[in-house]
Structure formats: structure tokens, C-alpha cells
Structure 1
């Protein structure tokens, strides 16, 4: 039986101080870096001394120096666009490598499956699947390219770090968009599968509600009022930045997801929910252990 790259472990200690200097001289690709969290990650990486390639449909509001970061126009749902991003990153990389990839691009929207207006239509209408295209298909493209470049740029591909962006909606039940929840559950599942393959280091983040341009002002006002009534706040952009920096700089981390949470729940603003491991003593745990030990790659042609 081949050794597993990932083994169940205790939740990550999220009170450890992050040393972002470990990113100095490295190269990062960030999808969806035009605004919000992606732009915040890009700024943090540049401040840490990394070279950043930002892939989005629009450039960031405040341009960086060309020696610090470049913008590449990209629709993440188009393979050729993403391929061009990674090729440019490879060509411009000061260290000749791509070291960290953040699959951050994502969109949200109304529930197109079970929303009130959808079910009140006089006839059933085909739902828009843009959320799946961006949040799943786009992430799969980014993952494929990250893995290829890690393999070709590093003597040890495990030196490559992929950070996937799920959501707290990938862990808990909500009344939000069913399509959005399905997309974020799929990103969580992608991380949990990849972590056992040993081809590169992969982790994820799962943000709680954070004030970003993705939220309308009316929705933001409503959600803040509701949360305060329950003794909770929004999570912060800076805490999400800190979580990403922690993953990018901690080479021991693999196969973990850090939830970005209100400070009432964690003094660091992020935490390991500890929900991605199964007790091996349970029936599910026994099946998990058995299934994860099967060498599927030996039979890839039969399964294709």
C-alpha cells in the first residue's frame, strides 16, 4: 500500500505568528485580483516581497510597479485565457518559477434553482450556470495549470502551494443560493481529494460574511443587523489576508481549510474548523481509509 501524502491531524494552531518574509523572491498567480479579497492578497504578497500576476477581467484600481505585479486580462472560464496567464507568469517570474497560486476568482448571485421568482415562473426556465462556470470550472482550470507548472518548475513539486477559496457555505447549511453552496462544497471536495495525491501542497480558506464589492449595500446592511442580533460580526479582509499568508508560508500545512470567522469565534479571525477529517473508528472512517488506499492511477485508462 503506497504511503498517503495526507494523514488526519489535529486542527491548525491559528495563533502562531505569520512570518511573511518567507514569500520574498517568490512568484504568485492570483485569479480575481481586481478588487475585494483578491486585491488584498495581491497587495500583501507584494508588500512581502513577492512578484504577483493578477488575472481578472478588469485591472486593479491602483496599479502596481511592473517590477512588483502585472495584470493579465483573463476570463477564468476560458482555458486559453488562463493558459496565457500562467505562460506570462512563467516568462516574467524573477525566480523562474511559479510558487503560489490562489484560485480566488468567484461570483455570487441569486438562487437560480429554488428562488421564489424562479419557482413562480409560469413555465420552468433554464437556470443560469455562471456561478458554476466561474466557481467550479474556472477553479478546475486554475488547479490543472498550477499543478503542471509546479511539476515543471520545482525539483520537488510539493514546494508548489495551491490555495483554493471555498466558503463557510461549503461547511454549513444556509438559505443562500443553492448553486453557490454546491460550487463551494465542490471546492472543498477538490481540496480533500488533492491533498492525498502528493502532487503539490493544497489548502483552502472558507470565508464567513466579509464586506467586499460582491455584496450590495442593502444586503450588507441587512446582514450586519441580523448578525449583531446574534452576537456576531462580519469577518475582516485583513484576517483573510493573514490566513492566506499563513498557508503560503507554512510548508508543513497540507490538506487543511482555514475558516475566516468573526473575532468573537477566534482571536486571530481565522480558525481550522476541524471538519475535514473522519474518525477512523466510524463506518465512514473505515470506508475513508479503504478508499484512500486504492491506487486508482494504475487503472486510469480503464476509468477514462
Structure 2
């Protein structure tokens, strides 16, 4: 287990799914964690469970003032910031010719702008305090398109390129920036699809390991990327998808009616 005793981390979208698994791993490794999410009830619950080790901050990652507040409160509570995982994301799907502009904006703002704003203010602090390590959560869909997922796939491709640009700009400040690209993972956000047997089977046909990943199986590699063992890994994109990228995305259009899943 990687030791992160004395380190301070931020996790956006940390109250559930992959983000929550990352929070758990950080705490187990000895880090103190500022957790950003919109779920105030869950954040309060986590604070009670991990008194003195975890700070919950209600945060809309698409609002710059919220991100500034998140960084400031984390630094005030724990004395610094060394690590960040930018996980928050969701999507509203739709065919390109039918998708409302507001659904496109919701998805791109949350998945790409939210990472940009988080990265901007995390790195700004790290630049002035000796450096750090940041991991942005992109997706297999940065490489593999999917029916009715143009907004999400485009945003996640943007996250991957943003990560590379950040690594290029920030290396001189001793800040490493990498991306992790999950495939299908069992989370509340994916259950609406995978709970439908026919859709789940279509996914599993394309995944050589024949199962969805567990959030912990994404959090583990992400923790490696911020560890000393990965000290020469920078600007990288780590696929964690059970081999899915070698087969392509299933055609889910036959399961979609009225341009909505």
C-alpha cells in the first residue's frame, strides 16, 4: 500500500462511485482529504466517520468561486495541498441532430470545464508551494465514440488533451498531471444502463474480462499515479477498462427510443 502520511488531497465528486473509492484509498494511505460534492448529506456523514481526517465542501465544480472556496478551505483545514483527483462528471445523452443545447452545455461544462477550473486552482496553489500531483478522470470514450454520447465523449477527449497540456505547462513547477480512462464501472451513474439485462450483455460482449470494473479497481491505479512510484509518469493516459478498448463500443442505438436511453 502506498504511504501518503502527511499529504493533503482534494477529490471532486468524492461522495460516491469512483470518487468515493479514491477518498477511501487516500484515507487508508494516511492522507487527509478535502471532498467536493453536491451531496451535502453524504459529505456530513463522511465528516462524522472520519473526524479530523476529512473535510466535506459542497461544491459545484462548474463555478469558479466554488473551486476557489474548496481549495482555500482544504488548505485552511489541513495546512496544504499535495494531491488532487478531479473526478466529478455526469452526462445528458442525445443524438447530435436532436440534443438540446442545454444538455450539451450541462455535459461539457461538468465534465470538461469542471476539470479545467479544478486543475487551474489546484495547480495555482501547488505552483507556489513546491509542486504536487494531479489525476484527471477522463474515459475510454475519449478514444471510443458511442451512440447518443457525443457530448460526453467530446468532453472526455477534451479532458485527456487538457491533461497533456497541463503536464507540458506545469512540469517546470514540479507538478505532474496524468489522466485515468475508466471503462465500464459499477457505479450509481451506470446502473441505469447496466441494470437492463440486454444492455448489460451488450457491454460484456465487448469487454474481454467479461465484467464491469469495481470503483476500487480505478482508485488503485489512480493512487499509483500520484505516488512516488510514479515520479517519472507525466502527461500519461492510463486506460483501466478490462481490455475493452481493443474491441470497440457496443451499438446501444437499438435500445434507445425517442433519442433518449
Q: TM-score range by the shorter chain?
A: 0.7 to 0.9
Which SS does the other structure have where 1:76 is aligned? Answer: coil
Query: Residue 75 of structure 2 aligns to a residue in which SS?
Result: helix
Structure with bigger helix share is 2
Match of 1:107 among 65, 90, 93: 90
Structure-1 residue corresponding to 2:257: none
> How far did 1:85 drift?
0.6
Distance in 2 between residues matched to 1:66 and 1:57, nearest whole Å: 20
The reply to whether residue 20 of structure 1 matches residue 5 of structure 2 is no
1:122-201 map, 5 Å: 126-128=101-103, 129-154=105-130, 157=131, 160-197=132-169, 198=171, 199=173, 200-201=175-176
Q: Report the TM-score, using the length of structure 1 for normalisation.
A: 0.71
Structure-2 residue corresponding to 1:215: 190
Secondary structure of 2:168's counterpart equals coil
Across the two proteins, how many residue pairs are aligned to each other? 233
Q: Secondary structure in 2 aligned to 1:163?
A: strand
Does 1:31 find its partner at 2:5?
Answer: no
Q: Give the direction of change, closer, same or farther, for the CA distance of 1:218–1:161 in structure 2 (3 Å limit).
A: closer
Looking at structure 2, the residues matched to 223 and 89 of structure 1 have their Cα atoms a distance apart, in angstroms, of: 41
Task: Pick from 29, 39, 43 the counterpart of residue 58 of structure 1.
Answer: 39
User: Shift of residue 126 of structure 1?
Assistant: 3.7
Match of 2:214 in 1: 236
Structure 2 partner of 1:98 = 81
RMSD: 2.1
TM-score by length of 2: 0.82
CA distance in 1, matches of 2:193, 2:241: 22
Does the 8 Å CA contact 2:82/2:133 hold for their aligned counterparts? Answer: yes
Is 1:51–1:69's contact at 8 Å kept on the other side of the alignment?
A: yes
Q: Which runs of 5+ in 1 are unaligned?
A: 1-18, 120-124, 274-304
What is the distance in 1 between the residues matched to 2:124 and 2:95? 34
Q: Identify the residue that residue 89 of structure 1 maps to in structure 2.
A: 74
User: Once the two structures are superposed, what CA deviation does each residue of 1:34-55 show, in whole Å capped at 9, x if it has no partner?
Assistant: 1111111101101111000001
Inter-CA distance 112–85: structure 2 relative to 1 (3 Å threshold): farther
Kept after mapping to 1: 8 A contact 2:61/2:88: yes
Unaligned stretches of 5+ residues in structure 2: 247-261
CA shift at 1:112, angstroms?
A: 5.6
